[in-house]
A = this chain, B = another copy of it.
Amino acid sequence: MPPRPKSREKPTSHRRLVEFPPQLSSGYLVRDAHRAFQRLLERRIAAYGVSRGQWYFLRVLWITDGLSQRELSARVGMMEPTTVIALRSMDRAGLIRRVRSAGDRRKVEVWLTAKAKRLRNELLMVARAITDEAEQGIAPRELASFRRMIARMTANLDRVER
């Protein structure tokens, strides 16, 4: 008896029944934009000795100084171990001091140093400049619509996740 030929894969299971080109995927487009923003931000703030990981925490602390690590994690939207690592590097870089809370000794309050406060205006202008460049050629009215839509998408996805 001749050897049985290798069974072929059933072609139906491989057919391209589903198409979903990246250009039609909001997720894909958002990812690309995110990476473009990140790259530019990272390069520009590096000139001030600030890393992207530190940026998000500065952004929050410039609004509300002296938060606990847990509060910071929640506002920045990162997990607490990530916060620990970021704050450690910020401490080393002289951007914050961590103070054990007097009232509740479990808590650590995070306070900006004078150095970090001095960086505020200039770094916020850097961020705004990047946004301005990104928004070139888009009408203000359209931009307002854009912001509403992307915030809506985030809210939709957060709701799905419970």
B-contacting residues of A (Cβ < 8 Å)? 9, 13-20, 22-27, 29-41, 43, 59, 77, 114, 117-118, 120-121, 124-125, 127-128, 130-131, 133-138, 142-143, 145-147, 149-154, 156-158, 160-161
Distance of A109 Cα from B62 Cα, bound (Å): 49
Q: How many copies does the complex hold?
A: 2
> Contact at B147–A23, with CB atoms within 8 Å?
yes
Chain B residues in 8 Å Cβ range of A121:
13, 15-18
**Are B161 and A39 touching (Cβ within 8 A)?**
yes
Distance in angstroms between the alpha carbons of A151 and B137 in the assembled complex? 12
The 9 lowest CB-CB distance pairs between A and B, nearest first, are A36-B157, A34-B34, A27-B37, A134-B153, A18-B124, A18-B121, A14-B117, A33-B154, A20-B124
Closest to A15 in B: B121
23 A-B contacts, Cβ less than 8 Å apart? A18-B121, A18-B125, A24-B147, A25-B127, A26-B37, A26-B135, A26-B143, A27-B134, A30-B150, A32-B154, A33-B151, A35-B77, A36-B158, A36-B161, A40-B157, A130-B157, A133-B156, A133-B157, A134-B153, A134-B157, A138-B153, A143-B149, A146-B149
